[in-house]
Amino acid sequence: MASKRGLSNAGAHRNRASGSRFPLAILIFFALLVPLIFFVGRGLHISDHSDISSSPGEKVIDVISASTNDMGPLSLDFFRKNNLLASWKVIGANNSVVTDSQINLTAVDARQETPRVKVDDSSGDDHAQPLDPTKLARRQLREKRREKRANELIQWDDESVVRLETAAIERSKSVDSAVLGKYSIWRKENENENSDSTVRLIRDQIIMARVYLSIAKMKNKLDLFQQLQTRLKESQRAVGEATADADLSQSAPEKIKAMGQVLSKVREQLYDCNLVTGKLRAMLQTADEQVRSLKKQSTFLSQLAAKTIPNGIHCLSMRLTIDYYLLPLEKRKFPRSENLENPNLYHYALFSDNVLAASVVVNSTVINAKELKNCHKRQGDSVDECQSPRHLNFYEVSFLDPSKHVFHLVTDKLNFGAMNMWFLLNPPGKGTIHVENVDEFKWLNSSYCPVLRQLESAAMKNYYFKADHTTTLSSGASNLKYRNPKYLSMLNHLRFYLPQVYPKLDKILFLDDDIVVQKDLTGLWAVDLHGKVNGAVETCGESFHRFDKYLNFSNPHIARNFDPNACGWAYGMNMFDLKEWKKKDITGIYHKWQNMNEDRTLWKLGTLPPGLITFYGLTHPLQKSWHVLGLGYNPSLDRVEIDDAAVVHYNGNMKPWLELAMTKYRGYWTKYIKFDHPYLRSCKLSE
C-alpha cells in the first residue's frame, strides 16, 4: 500500500509540472507573433500607394499647415528628414519631389477641411480627433492678429520713411551747399575759394606738436624736442592769421609735409595714450579759461563802447554849439511859445544829450502823426480801437495839424546850445518845440532830491570815482554797467519830477531818445488809464522781467511790500496822468524809497527799479503793439512785430548811432535822418 501511494503521488507531480509549462509557452508565442504581425501590417499599409490620402498623410499635411510660420511654407523634404519616424519609408522616386506650390495648395485644402488635432504620442492612438470649436476660433483670431500686425508694421515703416525723407529735404533747404568756383568730384582738391581745410590741418598739427613737445621735454628727448620746436615755429609762421586756404603762403604744403614727417617719427617713439590724453585735456581746460577771459573782456568793451559818443556826433554837437552862440539873442527863440502850457494839445517829454537821437524822435513822431476823426468801440470788440495803433486800419483818418504837437526837450549844459541850434535850423514843421537846461532847474538840488544828495556822499564818490576799483579788460565788467554816466545824470532821474517841470499840463507822453516812432501816437491820449498814473507796455514773460529780477527780495522791506512775481514794464514810451500823479504824491513815494536805498541794498543803480516800486499798483498795461523793445540787444525779434509796432526801442548797448548797432535794425532809425544835411556832411556822418 505504501509503494502504490508513492507511485501515485509521483505521477501527480509530473502531471502538474507539464500543465504549468504549456500556458507559458503559449504566452511567449503570442508575444513574438503580435509585434511581427503589427510591423508587417503597417509596412504593407504604408507601401500601398493608393492609400496616400489616409490618416498618416493627413497627419503630415496637418503638421505642415500647423507649422507654417512667417518665414514661408515648410519644405516637405525637410519635414521628411526631421519629423517622420524612422519606420516610415517613402516608396517611389517620383513621390519624393514635391514643389512648393503643391505644398501650399495642400496646406490650403487642409485648412478648408475640418481641422484635426495631431496624434497624442503618449496615448498610442493613431485615430485623429475633430478640433474643438473654441480652439478653432482662437486659431483664427491669432491669424487675424498676425495679418493686422504685419499690415500695421508695413504702414508704419512707409510713414517713417516719408517722415525721414521730408526732414532730410527741409534740412537740405536750410544748408547753403553752393560751392564757389569750379568743382569736380573727380578732382582730389576742390577749387573752392572759401575752403579752410588746409588751415585746419595746420592748426591740428600745431596742437599735436605742442602735446609731443611737452612729452619730449618730460622724457628728456632733446633731439626730438628741437625738431618739434623748429617745425612748430615754421607752421605758426605759415598759418599766421589765415582763416582760409587762399590766405596761406605757397610754402604751406611743404611745411605741412615736414611737420607730418616729424610727428610720425615722434609718435613712434613717444606715443603714450594716457599722456597724450592728459595733455589734450589740459590744453582744453586752458582754452576754456581763455574763452571765459575773452568774454569778460568783450563785456567790458561793450559797456565801455555804450558809454561813448561817436566822433561824428561829438563833432556835430561842437559845430552847432559854436554857431548857436554866434547868433544874436533875438534869433535864439522858438516860435509859438504860448502852446507850451496848453493842456488841450499833444505834449511830449524828451530828455537827452544826443542831438542826432533827439532829432530822430521828433521827426519820426511828426511824420507819422495822424488825427483820428472817429474813434469808438466796434460791436463784438473787447477793446476800444483807440487803444491800439492798428486803429488807423479801420477808421477814417486825416493828417494832423502839426501845430497840435508840442515837444518839451531837456538837455544838459554841454549840449544846450547844440540842441537849440539844430531845431532852430530844422523845426518840426508847424509843431512847437522848447529846449531847457536841466542845470537851470534851481529847485532840483541836494536838499530836495535824494539822488543828488547821495552822489555827494563819500561812499558814492568812492564807488564811482576812486581809481582803486577794477577797470581792467579782464575784470570788473560785472558792475560796469551801473557805473555808466547816464545813471549819474539828472536827465535820467528827471522823469520822477514831471509835475514839477510841467505844472500846467494834465497828461504828457514820455519818450526815450533811443526810440523811433513808426505810427500815430495821438490815440494814447484817448486811452482810459482807469485811475492809474502810468500807462506802459508790460515786458514780463513766463519767468523773466518780473520784480524779482530787479529788486532784492532778501531785504525785508522789499519782501513785505512787493510781489516777486509781479510783472515788470518798460520805460521808453509812457503815458503819465499828471493829475493823478499829484493826487497820489508819486514824487514823495519815489523820495521815500530812494532814501532807503542809500546803501544800494534794495536795488542796483538805475531808474527802472525805483520806477517799478514807485508805480507799483499804479500802472495800466497798454497793448504790446504800442511799444516793441529789444532792438539794442536781441537779434531774433520778429520782423512782423517790429513793422506793426507804433514805437520801436533800441534798449540795450547796441544803440543805432554806434558802430555796435545791429545792421538789420539800423535802417528803422537812419530813414529819419537826412545825411545830405551840411552839418552831417561836414562831420562825416553817413549811413
Q: What does the pLDDT read at residue 76? A: 45
Query: Does position 94 have pLDDT exceeding 60, yes or no?
Result: no
Mean predicted confidence (pLDDT) in 656-680? 93
Cβ atoms of 496 and 610 closer than 8 Å:
yes
Q: What does the pLDDT read at residue 411? A: 95
pLDDT-derived band at 582, boundaries 50, 70, 90: very high
Distance CA 23, CA 466 (A): 134
Mean predicted confidence (pLDDT) in 19-41? 68
Q: Map grid coordinates 551840411 to a residue.
A: 678
Cβ atoms of 506 and 343 closer than 8 Å:
yes
Mean predicted confidence (pLDDT) in 257-283? 89
Point out the least confidently predicted range of 64-73, 240-249, 432-441, 491-500.
64-73
Mean predicted confidence (pLDDT) in 233-258? 86
Distance CA 80, CA 99 (A): 14
Q: What does the pLDDT read at residue 305? A: 72
Query: Does position 69 have pLDDT exceeding 50, yes or no?
Result: no
pLDDT-derived band at 185, boundaries 50, 70, 90: very low
Domain 311-682 has CATH 3.40.50.2000: no
Q: What does the pLDDT read at residue 38? A: 65
Segments making up each domain of the chain, as ranges: 51-90+98-120+128-143, 311-682
Higher pLDDT: 172 or 458? It is 458
Query: Does position 113 have pLDDT exceeding 70, yes or no?
Result: no
Q: What does the pLDDT read at residue 251? A: 86
Looking at the DSSP bridge assignments, the partners of residue 348 are 407, 509
Q: What does the pLDDT read at residue 248? A: 85
Q: What does the pLDDT read at residue 414? A: 93
Element (H, E) at 255: helix 252-270
Mean predicted confidence (pLDDT) in 149-169? 77
pLDDT-derived band at 589, boundaries 50, 70, 90: very high
Query: Does position 118 have pLDDT exceeding 70, yes or no?
Result: no
Distance CA 626, CA 515 (A): 12
Point out the least confidently predicted range of 140-144, 151-155, 541-545, 673-677.
541-545
How many C-beta neighbours within 10 Å does residue 611 have?
A: 22
**Strand-pair category, 370-372 with 346-351:** unpaired
Higher pLDDT: 414 or 469? It is 414
Q: In what order do the strands lie in the sheet with 647-649?
A: 515-517, 647-649, 627-628
Mean predicted confidence (pLDDT) in 648-656? 92
Higher pLDDT: 389 or 233? It is 233
pLDDT-derived band at 43, boundaries 50, 70, 90: low
Point out the least confidently predicted range of 150-159, 326-335, 337-346.
150-159
Residue 475 dihedral angles phi and psi, to the nearest 5°: -150, 165
Q: Which three cell numbers stand for residue 119?
A: 496624434
Mean predicted confidence (pLDDT) in 301-308? 74
Q: What is the pLDDT of residues 448-463, one digit of tens each?
A: 999 888 877 777 666 6
**Strand-pair category, 507-511 with 515-517:** unpaired
Q: What does the pLDDT read at residue 332? A: 92
Mean predicted confidence (pLDDT) in 574-595? 95
Report long-range pairs for 99-102 (Cβ below 8 Å, ≥24 apart). Answer: 100/73, 100/75
What is the rounded average pLDDT for all residues in the chain?
A: 77
Mean predicted confidence (pLDDT) in 344-362? 95
Share of the chain above pLDDT 90, in %: 37
Mean predicted confidence (pLDDT) in 467-479? 46
- The SS3 assignment for 204 reads helix
Query: Does position 17 have pLDDT exceeding 90, yes or no?
Result: no
Q: What does the pLDDT read at residue 401? A: 67
Q: What does the pLDDT read at residue 87? A: 42
Q: Which three cell numbers stand for residue 585?
A: 504824491
The backbone region for 429, taken as left when phi is positive above 0, alpha when psi lies in -120 to 50, beta otherwise, is: left
**Strand-pair category, 573-577 with 397-399:** unpaired
